[in-house]
Amino acid sequence: MFGIARDGIDPRAFLASFGAAGGGVVTFFGAVRDRADDGRIVTGLTYEAYEPMALAEFQRIAGEATERFGALRIAIVHRTGDAGPGEVTIAVAAAAAHRDAAFRACRFAVDEVKRRAPIWKKERYAGGGAEWKANRGG
């Protein structure tokens, strides 16, 4: 399951759509922080994406994870639009026969989405002002 969510990501719905699996299932939910790296108060984020390319990149990342960590299932959903502090903006799940592969695949997928997907983030700050932020993996 790969998707771009315009109206937010509901963690329960994401998990329900991913389903249970034998072995290990690891999930990651990234949410908007209320502070920037430099300490400024963040009032929200705005995400933009080139959706066809982002979805294709999600699929490539999942394929690479399978090559590296063995047979597994991966789901990746990223939000676009405006999101406030605490709102989930990325959800990744990985399921594998063993927990180590699931953990490693989930981490790999999150890092690679941040590094490679054509998704851009603008931080909005208390008191006005906004700044586009570079994507970073790891």
The CATH number of residue 122's host domain is: 3.90.1170.40
User: Can you give the pLDDT of all 138 residues of the chain as single tens digits?
Assistant: 999 999 899 999 999 999 877 789 999 999 999 999 999 999 999 999 999 999 999 999 999 999 999 989 999 999 999 999 999 999 999 999 999 999 999 999 999 999 999 999 999 999 999 999 987 765
In a domain, 89, yes or no: yes
d(CA 107, CA 101): 10
Entry pTM? 0.94
For residue 56, the enclosing domain spans: 2-126
Give how many domains the chain has, as a whole number: 1
Under 8 Å between Cβ of 89 and 11: no
In a domain, 63, yes or no: yes
DSSP string, 25-49: EEEEEEE--SB-TTSPBEEEEEEEE
